[in-house]
Amino acid sequence: MPAAGHTFITTLKRAHLEWGTHRYTSSRGVVYGEGYLQIPKRYAKRFGIFNSNHPTALYTYNCNSVDGFLSNAILMASGSSEAGDIYAKQFQGRGNLRLIGNWFNHVNAVVGDRVRITWVSPTDIEIEKI
């Protein structure tokens, strides 16, 4: 489980900024405004960031953004790099896949921007475009 002080930086790619439109699957239709934050596998393993495939792990986090746009938003650690993997590969809004996309829009995020994700407690994270 992540602990206070754990932090990592992710670099935004087009797929993160345009999740609902820039995809290589036809599993669902085009949805504008969706976004996610990538969790590099090395940090998922090092910090214990699990998805729902792990039978007892916590995979939802309270999230605040340094700029104040997000306040007590709920993010889910989700996805996996291969079927059945217990390590999450992304953070997304719980029940709202536009949550991160709206924040990207608010901070004028573009491809190549970097986002710092920091745990302030085992269940609370803070995000910041740097």
Decide if 99 contacts 73 (C-beta within 8 A): yes
pLDDT at res. 40: 94
Of 63, 66, 87, 65, the residue nearest 77 (C-alpha): 87
Write the class of the CATH domain 7-129: mainly beta
**Tens-digit pLDDT profile for the chain (130 aa)?**
899 999 999 999 888 777 655 555 556 555 556 888 999 999 999 999 999 888 788 889 999 999 999 999 999 998 877 888 899 999 999 888 889 999 999 999 999 999 999 999 999 999 999 9
pLDDT at res. 76: 94
> Per-domain residue ranges for the chain?
7-129
